Structure 1
Amino acid sequence: MGKKMSMLLAVTALLIGVIGCGNNGNGAGNEGSASGGNNASGDSASYKIAISQYVEHPSLDATRQGFMDALIDAGLVEGQNLTVDYSNAQADSTNNMSIAQKIAGEKYDLVLAIATPPAQAIVGQVKESPILFAAVTDPLDAKLVDNLDHPGGNVSGASDTNPEAITKLMDFIAGNFPDVKNVGVVLNQGEPNAVVMTGIAEEALAKHGIKVVKASVTNTSEVKQAAESLVGRVDALYITLDNTVVEAVNTVIKVANDNDLPFFSADRDTVEAGAFATVGFKYYDHGYQVGQMAVDVLKNGKKVGDMKITVPDKLDFILNLKAAAEQGIEVTDAMKDQVQDKENNLIE
């Protein structure tokens, strides 16, 4: 009788061990990752992530697509071993905070914030899950981290702005448009990224004796009127990575085209839509880069706070020749010569 009891206890212990290992692959393992990215290992692991995006527009959508494709390329496929909770604030600050609070109330292996407002809300609310951000202009000014090389804590990500890109574009304006004495900027003063980038542009233009004239907006519906208010007061238009303005960029393009105002932007997608020029990169690549960081956290157990904040390093001039014709711009060989990858970055 004693032997039978011993065998029964041994079998029971074995079953408990097997069940426990099975839970670690999907359930308990996820909780470990949420508190430090420790769910590393096997092909059987599954993950749950949340994505908070501020608004729908081409740059941010491309960022999200690049991020998701990086996960797919690493074997993390939604509906198979990956659950994705995606939320979009539609440029509404109340929605933005509600989304952050909802995410904070659940357990996730990783949270991605796309654009500065959701990144600020997520960092303020989410204290357990690893956080990555993308499409953020200045992580220091936004108070997301206090060190770009070693952020610490549970936050890291990628800035979508290299100050050198703004300076190069302003130098391009000064060097190729001698009649431009005033550049109009439509911006939402409530978006820190827009304020920071406008400041960099203003400083760069001032070195060439060119002034910046600002037209402020508080929401997307005001963008058209703000752009129109600059007509007759400026010789060119420029917009930053301002979510409020970019969402209504077609109205700015129309004002530029109707009034023969050269229109410059801070991102490639806006140039593809109808602005004339930028110094930029592909937001898809930006998102893919952050997706690779996510893979390191989810599958390789890397601590997010040890990951350096990255910035775009593949910068090139991007010119839209069709937009140039619409805005009365004569594109010279000197302008074209500044484009390194003419096949992809001279848009016709």
Structure 2
Amino acid sequence: MKRRALLGLALVPGLLAACSTGEGATPAPGDGDLPAPVAIAAVTIVSHPSLDLIYEGVKEGLADAGYVEGENLDIRLENPQGDQSTLANIANTFANGDEDLYVAIATPPAQALAQVITDKPIVFASVTDPVAAGLVDSMEEPGGNVTGTSDQIPADAQLEVLREIVPDLATLGIVYTSAEVNAEVQARGMQEAAEAAGIDVEVATVINSSEVQQAAESLDVDAYWVGNDNAVVSAIESIVQVAEANGRFLFTSDADSVARGAGASYATDYKAQGVQTARMITRILDGAAPADVPVEIQESLELTINPEAAERMGFTLPESVVEKAARTV
């Protein structure tokens, strides 16, 4: 039996108890019986490590709350690999399904689900600006059936670290996906921060990951910056190749790109964001209405560096940056 999470209505405590103490239920470690069975369908936009970590974190956080996959949790993940028509088909399939709650990892999946599902909860993760994306009325009062976690990272904080690494930074290159609202918002924020600091900015937009290398090669800059842009991050090796060939530093907004060859990042802990998202999911499964659950910003930011990658780009990371790094690849 699947539990129905009715929007705007709290579940009756007695009914919860009756559903969760049925015959054969497996006790949660140190916390009595498992919660009532629930079905969740999730969708991401493309495969890359940061988004994969969010999904892992969601499942881990749900397990911590007593939702055990294969016992009282039925959860599945769909991935359109960046194809918008496939994403729309997935969203329509979800809309005709009988899951209790939906999880959207990144902005395009959240928008696709919100367009076709209005009667069940949608919880998003890794959405930079859910207001600009049209997902919620405000961060404090979402106002509908959608809420979740944001991966906003202050542009000026990232730029400060980048200027420590490249002190004579005069021109900054930004490659972003024009079709993603979150990517556009981040790019605009970084462009404004850089120009306020007297740095010239060159921008190249792409439609999909196959265009990333050509876009990077079109920019004559001192360094590149890449935000939490799903299509660009999925092809980050293309920019790494251009940066190494031309002696330009590559700074990113996700730590996994550093492991893949970027020089440094000031980034969200995506596994932690997944766990945080799971806590929001649990609140909603326990009866909270998404309209009343404020959007949360994942606040733990960490500096990750890759000294060897920096050397291949022609840069030596200063000791001040090395000392601040939470992780060295």
The alignment's TM-score, normalised by the length of structure 2, stands at 0.89
Separation of aligned partners in 2, 1:253 and 1:37: 50
What is the alpha-carbon distance in structure 2 between the residues aligned to residue 108 and residue 237 of structure 1?
Answer: 42
Aligned residues: 311
Q: Gaps spanning 5+ residues in structure 1: where?
A: 1-25
| Larger Rg over CA atoms | 1
Report the counterpart of residue 234 of structure 1 in structure 2.
221
Equivalent in the alignment of 1:273 = 260
- Alignment match, 1:302: 288
Query: Which structure carries more helix by proportion?
Result: 1
Deviation at 1:176, TM superposition (A): 4.2
Q: In the alignment, is the contact (CA less than 8 A) between 1:37 and 1:130 conserved in 2?
A: no
The 3 A distance-change label for structure 1 pair 184 and 208 is: same
Q: Is 1:246 aligned to residue 233 of structure 2?
A: yes
Distance (Å, rounded) in 1 between the aligned partners of 2:76 and 2:302: 34
CA distance change for structure 1 residues 321 and 37 in 2, over 3 Å: closer, same or farther?
farther
| 1:129 maps to amino acid | K
Structure 2: runs of 5 or more not aligned: 23-35
* Structure-1-length-normalised TM-score: 0.85
CA distance 1:32–1:330, change in 2 (3 Å)? closer
For 1:249 and 1:124, the matched residues in 2 are separated by 30
Say whether the 8 Å CA contact 1:107–1:129 is kept in structure 2. no
1:66/1:284 contact within 8 Å kept:
yes
Distance in 1 between residues matched to 2:45 and 2:10, nearest whole Å:
25
Name 2:174's counterpart in structure 1: 185
Does residue 314 (structure 1) correspond to residue 300 (structure 2)? The answer is yes
1:35–1:129 CA contact under 8 A, matched in 2: no
Aligned with 2:245 (options 238, 258, 263): 258
Aligned to 2:141, the other structure's residue is in SS state coil
Q: 1:132 aligns with which of 112, 123, 129?
A: 123
Q: Which residue of 2 aligns with 1:15?
A: none
Q: Which SS does the other structure have where 2:4 is aligned?
A: helix
Aligned ranges 1:115-130 → 2 under 5 Å:
115-130=106-121
- The residue aligned with 1:283 is 270
Deviation at 1:184, TM superposition (A): 1.0
Kept in 1, the 8 Å contact 2:165–2:317? The answer is: no
Sequence identity, in percent?
A: 36
- Residue of 216, 221, 237 corresponding to 2:210: 221
The letter for the 1-side match of 2:62 is: L
Q: Conserved in 2, the CA contact under 8 Å of 1:183 and 1:213?
A: yes
RMSD: 1.8
Aligned to 1:206: 195
Distance 2:248 2:282 in 1: 44
Which residue of structure 1 aligns with residue 55 of structure 2?
A: 64
Q: After the TM superposition, which of the residue ranges 61-70 and 327-336 deviates more from structure 2?
A: 327-336
